[in-house]
Amino acid sequence: MPLNKSTIDRFMALFNENRPDVDALMEECYSSQVLFRDPLVERRGRKALARYLKDAYANVIRCEFDYGEPVRGSRQVTIPWTMTLEHRRLARGAPIHVDGITLLQGDTDSIEYHRDYYDAGQLIYENVPLLGSVIRWIRRQAA
């Protein structure tokens, strides 16, 4: 059975919540052996994923996801999104907008595989002083 709507809704709420019970939401969404991948890291297991997310959000001022309509397959769900991020160490704290897609796989109420696809340059490299200017210059040359 594919992931149900309530699991998908809980997943989307998880990444827009700034509540102390995020760990409880993770338990409601993810398998204990979930495999998470994005352009920067790979983590296996709910505890490792929770640790990674807590570290990743340590310098976040604000992070919100505007989700598009989920596209359901027989055993997977793809969710387009735009993230708005304000981070102490990126772009001097100014909002950064990143477009991406999440692929989720699992059974009815538990995510076993979570893969995020996005442009790491758009998120990080373009927003680091000095390196950002070089990346933006390279992009202009390639256009």
Segment 51-65, tens digit of pLDDT:
888 888 888 999 999
pLDDT above 80: residue 109: yes
15-27 tens-digit pLDDT: 887 654 567 778 8
Provide the 8-state DSSP code for 4: P
Map residue 123 onto helix, strand or coil: helix
Q: Which domains does the chain have, with CATH numbers?
A: 5-118 (3.10.450.50)
Coil, strand, or helix at residue 135? Answer: helix
Hey, what are 68's tokens? Answer: 């598009």
In order, the DSSP letters of 47-75 are: HHHHHHHHHHTTTEEEEEEEE---EE-SS
**pLDDT tens digits, residue range 61-82?**
999 999 999 999 888 999 999 9
pTM: predicted TM-score of the whole model, two decimal places:
0.85
